[in-house]
């Protein structure tokens, strides 16, 4: 129980639906923390769904292989996000660490059985699934209707909001510009031009490497909403 009680994301993660000491003790016995190195895949698309889990630290990408054999990033998993496919036989996408990450994983069948006997966990899982569906619909609108600059601004805003930041509000962008382009349905040159334009307007600054500071959050939000 102490491990769950001390978990930095427990309140925001799926396990936040559990409240009693007995419930926390049971889920604690089912789970184990694993350290995942950058580039390591923990779930493979099409494979049997063996584990599910909560992201404790780091960032992971969700990806599929398209018909022509290229990788397509379809989502990101931040701390407190739930990964894996409960109540399903096969994984619909791969899950790969973009940075060194920590995940609390559960055997999928054991988690399914626990959720079936704890309705509040099943309800929390349903709410999270519906939230994911809403985000997917919003992403479809972004890709179909928004300009390239609005797409880039939306992604930067999301990563700045959800990635851990330092005291100077600096975050390390976990995606390369090519990965950002793949995720947004753009070419890398367009992503680079859009980021440069945001920097030249003073909306963001780029201290070096993949470091990003959002200098004018309201301006970035306005561009993202365009």
pLDDT at 1 over 60: no
Using CA atoms, how far apart are residues 111 and 97, in angstroms rounded to an integer? Answer: 22
Smallest CA-to-CA distance from 75 within 188, 162, 7, 172 is with 162
Using CA atoms, how far apart are residues 70 and 72, in angstroms rounded to an integer? Answer: 6
Mean pLDDT across the stretch 8-37?
A: 89
Which tens digit of pLDDT belongs to each residue from 93-137?
Answer: 999 999 899 999 999 999 999 999 999 998 998 998 898 888 888
Dihedrals φ, ψ of 117, to 5°?
-100, 0
Smallest CA-to-CA distance from 29 within 92, 121, 107 is with 107
> Residue 101 has what pLDDT?
95
- Residues 86 and 153 occupy one common structural domain: no
* Domain ranges, residue 109: 2-127
Q: How confident is the model at residue 165 (pLDDT cuts 50, 70, 90)?
A: low
- Residues 31 and 103 occupy one common structural domain: yes
pLDDT at 77 over 60: yes
Using CA atoms, how far apart are residues 98 and 60, in angstroms rounded to an integer? Answer: 5
- Residues 120 and 153 occupy one common structural domain: no
Q: How confident is the model at residue 142 (pLDDT cuts 50, 70, 90)?
A: confident
- Residues 120 and 19 occupy one common structural domain: yes
Q: Give the total number of structural domains in the chain.
A: 2
For 54: left if phi > 0, alpha if psi spans -120 to 50, otherwise beta; the answer is beta
Domain closes at, from 127, 157, 186: 127
Whole-prediction pTM: 0.83
State the CATH number of the domain containing residue 88: 2.60.120.10
> Residue 102 has what pLDDT?
96
């Amino acid at each position: 129980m102490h491990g769950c009680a001390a978990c930095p994301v427990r309140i925001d993660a799926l396990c936040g639906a559990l409240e009693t000491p007995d419930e926390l003790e049971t889920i604690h016995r089912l789970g184990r923390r694993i350290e995942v190195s950058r580039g390591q895949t923990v779930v493979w698309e099409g494979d049997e769904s063996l584990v599910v889990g909560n992201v404790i630290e780091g960032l992971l990408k969700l990806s599929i292989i398209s018909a022509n054999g290229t990788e397509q990033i379809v989502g990101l998993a931040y701390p407190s996000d739930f990964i894996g496919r409960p109540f399903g036989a096969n994984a619909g996408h791969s899950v790969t660490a973009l940075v060194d990450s920590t995940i609390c994983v559960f055997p999928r069948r054991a988690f399914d059985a626990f959720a079936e006997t704890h309705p509040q966990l099943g309800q929390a899982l349903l709410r999270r699934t519906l939230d994911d569906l809403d985000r997917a619909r919003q992403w479809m609108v972004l890709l179909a209707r928004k300009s390239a600059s609005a797409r880039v601004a939306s992604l930067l805003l999301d990563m700045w909001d959800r990635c851990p930041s330092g005291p100077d509000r600096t975050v390390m962008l976990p995606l390369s510009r090519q990965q950002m382009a793949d995720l947004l349905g753009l070419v890398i040159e367009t992503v680079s031009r859009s980021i440069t334009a945001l920097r030249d307007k003073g909306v963001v600054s780029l201290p070096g490497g993949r470091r990003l500071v959002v200098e004018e959050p309201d301006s970035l939000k306005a561009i993202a909403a365009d």
